[in-house]
């Protein structure tokens, strides 16, 4: 029996979507779905909900929970990862509250920025433990990573973990749809091409019937920016740099040095930037979960419709050899994007079939876009260096090179902030020399 292992199965709603999709995919029937999580209550919840979907879907998949991670992984053909190390309390709170003492404000803090750096530093050791188990008990498995910070973790698993890994993110899938919806345009028949790095990939081409749609998009964007709306940062970046970006405005506000600035507080209001957005979402999700939990667990007739998540489509393409195109995070091997570092993780179109995930060659990005990507790649690569070497100086370097952090704080304050965050994280972080 072939096996799909889901690590972080206590992420019940996400597990329901991904694994519900699996149970609705004919080519994946008969697979064992192995569930693993460090929270036994959430693990049991997910098992019960998935068994309800199995009954209503008529799936022949076998659902099994494991308390031993290595046994959950043993013999797996595919591994899906959706963990969060440290959770909202204490780690997300730490990522936001300690920098505030230095006047450094954030919105999401899960990619780069000071919060993204420290999320990486506490997650990388856990991921490398996964990789050690995978090399031992399922060395040929394809690892599908959904955990942020996407680019760094996917890079680490490929480069240092020795595990065949592709990173999957929602932002490519919804980029054109969200842009067109915001500007009142119809996506029917629209063709697009997207490439860059995770959360900062670029809509390089967008056309319909051979006509470039960017002039109309920019005309509408100029008008849209005259009113308050949820996507002001992205439209501003497009109007200044020429191309639309995949991830949301609340994310991109903290990836660049232009928007969240103590000396220009009017920018927060002007661009409608939701500071502390991620902690608010966490509080809301925690408050809503018990109500949702009761509804899901109590519904023995629970049904599911296949979602837009890539995972089941990737597995289906490999099992059937019917090609499927995704936007995947992969290593920049061979210079897929020629003017980005080869040791970086890039997000490019990939064709999936029986041979696996096959990335496509992009060539050079427009120079201004590659330059913006490199500002984030610098921090990503130095964060990896810090995690692999255990040297505190590289934690400082990663933060010093971060666009938002370096725009707000002096070098001495950056060093002091990093020291305070290392101390505040305590046992959640490895020891840095």
What pLDDT is stored for residue 291 in this prediction?
87
d(CA 261, CA 394): 25
**Residue 78 counted as domain residue:** yes
105: domain CATH number?
A: 3.40.50.720
E-only strand ranges, 110-234? 142-145, 164-167, 190-197, 200-208, 211-212
Rounded to two decimals, the pTM is 0.98
**Residue 341 counted as domain residue:** no
CA distances from 67 to 11, 121, 417, 423 (A): 16, 25, 38, 31
In the chain (433 residues long), the average pLDDT of successive 10-residue segments reads 95 96 98 98 96 97 98 98 97 98 98 98 98 98 98 98 97 97 98 98 98 98 98 98 98 98 96 98 93 90 95 98 98 97 98 98 98 98 98 98 98 98 97 91
**Residue 20 counted as domain residue:** yes
Domain boundary among 167, 191, 210: 167
Cα dihedral 405/282/246/373 (nearest 10): 20
Burial of 195 (0-12, 13-18, 19+ CB in 10 A): buried
What pLDDT is stored for residue 17 in this prediction?
96
Domain boundary among 167, 189, 208: 167
Domain boundary among 152, 167, 182: 167
Q: Which residues contact 162 (CB under 8 A, 6 or more apart)?
A: 131, 135
**Residue 340 counted as domain residue:** no
Please say if 256 is a catalytic residue.
no
148 labelled binding-site residue: yes
**Residue 75 counted as domain residue:** yes
**Residue 305 counted as domain residue:** no
199 labelled binding-site residue: yes
Is residue 174 within 8 Å of 187, Cβ to Cβ?
no
What pLDDT is stored for residue 419 in this prediction?
98
Structural domains of the chain, count: 2
**Residue 29 counted as domain residue:** yes
Given 170, 304, 394, 425, which residue is catalytic? 170
Residue ranges making up the domain that contains 400: 382-428
**Residue 230 counted as domain residue:** no
Phi/psi region, residue 189 (left: phi>0; alpha: psi -120 to 50; beta: rest), is left
**Cα diameter, the chain:** 61
What pLDDT is stored for residue 21 in this prediction?
98
* Helix count and strand count (H, E) for the chain: 17, 12
């Amino acid at each position: 029996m072939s096996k799909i292992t889901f690590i972080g199965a206590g992420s019940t709603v996400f597990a329901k979507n991904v694994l519900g999709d699996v149970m609705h995919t004919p080519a994946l029937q008969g697979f064992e779905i192995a569930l693993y999580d460090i929270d036994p209550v959430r693990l049991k919840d997910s098992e019960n909900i998935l068994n309800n979907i199995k009954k209503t879907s008529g799936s022949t998949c076998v659902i099994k929970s494991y308390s031993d991670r290595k046994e959950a992984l043993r013999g797996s053909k595919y591994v899906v990862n959706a963990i969060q190390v440290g959770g909202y309390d204490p780690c997300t709170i730490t990522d936001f509250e300690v920098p505030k003492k230095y006047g450094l404000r954030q919105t999401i803090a899960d990619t780069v920025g000071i919060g993204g750096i420290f999320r990486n530093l506490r997650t990388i050791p856990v991921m490398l433990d996964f990789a050690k188990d995978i090399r031992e008990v399922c060395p040929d498995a394809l690892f599908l990573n959904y955990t942020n910070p996407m680019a760094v973790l996917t890079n680490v698993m490929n480069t240092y973990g020795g595990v065949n890994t592709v990173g999957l993110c929602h932002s490519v899938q919804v980029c054109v749809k969200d842009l067109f919806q915001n500007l009142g345009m119809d996506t029917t028949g629209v063709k697009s091409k997207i490439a860059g790095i995770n959360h900062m990939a670029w809509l390089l081409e967008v056309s319909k019937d051979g006509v470039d749609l960017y002039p109309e998009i920019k005309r509408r964007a100029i008008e849209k920016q005259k009113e308050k709306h949820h996507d002001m940062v992205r439209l501003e970046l497009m109007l200044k740099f020429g191309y639309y970006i995949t991830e949301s405005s609340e994310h991109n506000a903290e990836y660049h040095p232009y928007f969240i600035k103590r000396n220009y507080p009017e920018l927060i209001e002007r661009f409608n930037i939701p500071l502390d957005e991620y902690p608010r979402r966490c509080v809301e999700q925690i408050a809503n979960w018990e109500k949702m939990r009761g509804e899901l667990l109590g519904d023995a007739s629970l049904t599911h419709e296949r979602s837009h998540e890539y995972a089941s489509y990737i597995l289906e393409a490999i099992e059937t050899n019917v090609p499927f195109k995704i936007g995947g995070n992969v290593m920049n091997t061979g210079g897929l994007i020629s003017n980005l570092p080869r040791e970086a993780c890039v997000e490019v179109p990939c064709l999936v079939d029986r041979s696996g995930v096959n990335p496509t060659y992009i060539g050079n990005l427009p120079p201004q876009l590659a330059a913006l990507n490199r500002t984030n790649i610098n921090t990503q690569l130095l964060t990896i260096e810090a995690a692999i070497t255990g040297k505190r100086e590289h934690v400082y370097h990663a933060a010093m090179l971060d666009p938002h952090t370096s725009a707000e704080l002096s070098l001495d304050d950056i060093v002091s902030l990093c020291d305070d965050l290392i101390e505040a994280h305590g046992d959640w972080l490895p020891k840095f020399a």
